[in-house]
Structure formats: structure tokens, C-alpha cells
Amino acid sequence: MTFSELLQAVRTQPDAVVIPASWAQGRAGFGGLVVALAYEAMRAQVPEGRPVRSLAITFVGPVAPEAPVSFVAEVLREGKAVSQMALRVLQDGQVVTLVQGSFGASRASVVDVAPLPAPQIEPAERCQELPYIPSVTPEFTRHLAIRWGIGGVPFSNTKSRQMGGWVRLREETLTQPEALSEAHLLALVDAWPPAVLPHLQAPAPGSSLTWTIEFVQPLPELVSTDWCLYRAEIEHARDGYGHVAAALWGPTGELIALSRQTVTVFA
């Protein structure tokens, strides 16, 4: 199934979504897709005119591919401008992911601070692509194009604090380009491996434990074939955990999202 087909599946039947094996990340379903589906299930219960401002995610356990998953959304509070939402992702009666979302309408304000500038890197066509290699790279990378432009690739023994480059959905996996939504952006940001993995010189597992992402609204008018620029920076890493701040920009340098993750590494 394509990304858009899975989004439509959760909109129509949120209590029985099956993530195909082609969207796997090791033994689990791709976390960025799981959160994108959770976002769609929450958004369906939020009034129009209240775009998502932030999501806070805890990955409780792996979401097994090829097995039904339920997305259960709950309205915690609905104020004059802000809706607070919660969502549980359930599989086999167990909570596997928790998401809390804040959706808010725009309001007039005297505060106006320019966004962070995008880093200057080589254009996407001149950056190294991370190819999809069966049984080597995660299965979900067949759907996403990643081109390295900052730091080293995983397991390259590159001792850099920063990692990143360009990312988009692979054109060959799309029936046609579609408007880039927050659901797409969740997949693009989480497509990148934990920024601590380039510090290793041999393969070892690593994953996100918690993830917070904030969206700069209104989103620019982009389509799913546009390249977006991602940069992550390790702020601290020790004792098997890393704390990473990241950002995503559009192709012309407009800030789109800010991200923070606590990641685990088993090496």
C-alpha cells in the first residue's frame, strides 16, 4: 500500500489498520508512519481551522506489521482556540504508542520572531543517496528517498554532532504528486536514523524512545515530490541514550518543523 492509501485506511477504519511488511523497520512498523496514522485519527476529531501545533509521542513497544492496529483518539479539552487530544495505538490489546496533540487556531500577536535559517548544503542531486537494499536497509526506505549532505552515514565511525540532508517520498511509489501535509512531514522527519548511529563503526540497533515535534503554521504549499532539508544535532549522548534536536526546512529554506528525540542505542 502507498502512503496515501494507508492514510485513507485510518480515516475510514481506524480500529483495524494493517501496516504492510514493506513499511517495516526491523521487527516493527516504521514509527513515522505509525505517528502519521495517529495524527490522521486525531485530526478527524478536531474542528476546522485548528492546525496541529505540536505532537508528543512515546513509543511504548513495537507495532508488528501485517497485524491489525487500532487508533483510539480522545478529546481531552476543547477551548476557544485550542484542542488538546490524546491517542492510544493498540495492538493485541496492548498500548504500543501514546500520542498527545495540541491543535490551535492562529491569533493576533505583537510577537514576531524570524525563523531559524536553513543550513547551506549541496543541492539534492549532488548528495549521496541512501539506496534501498533488501535485507540491508530498513524495508520502509523503499518508499522514501534520503540523500546525505551533513555528517556521516550510520556505522561509519563519524564523530560528528550533526547529520542530515534531503528527503522526500520516492516518486515511483506515488500514483501522482499530492499536497504535502503534516502526515507526510512526520514520515519525512522520522525517516532519518538516530543521529548517534554514525558514531558507531559496526551495525547495532537503535530507535526512538520519545519524540516531540512542533509545526510552523501555516505550512508552505509544497507537494510530495519536493525535497525537504533535515538537520539533526546531538546535544548529549551517554549510557545508551542520546538527546537530539532537529529541524526540517522546505526546498527554498522556509522552516517547517522542529523536532526533539530521546533515542536509544544498544552499543
pLDDT in tens, 219-236: 999 999 999 999 999 999
Average pLDDT, the chain: 96
Residue 246 · residue 261 · CB < 8 Å: yes
User: Per residue in 87-130, pLDDT tens?
Assistant: 999 999 999 999 999 999 999 999 999 998 999 999 999 999 99
Distance CA 119, CA 202 (A): 29
- Structural domains in the chain, CATH included, are 1-105 (3.10.129.10), 118-267 (2.40.160.210)
Distance CA 8, CA 1 (A): 11
pLDDT at position 210 over 90: yes
Q: Report the percent of the chain where pLDDT is more than 90.
A: 93
Distance CA 146, CA 230 (A): 10
Angle at 48 between CA 45 and CA 49, to 5 degrees: 130
- Rounded average pLDDT over 244-248: 98
Cell of 80: 476557544
User: Per residue in 176-191, pLDDT tens?
Assistant: 888 999 999 999 999 9
Burial of residue 160 (number of CB atoms within 10 Å: 0-12, 13-18, 19+): middle
Per-residue model confidence (pLDDT) at position 177: 87
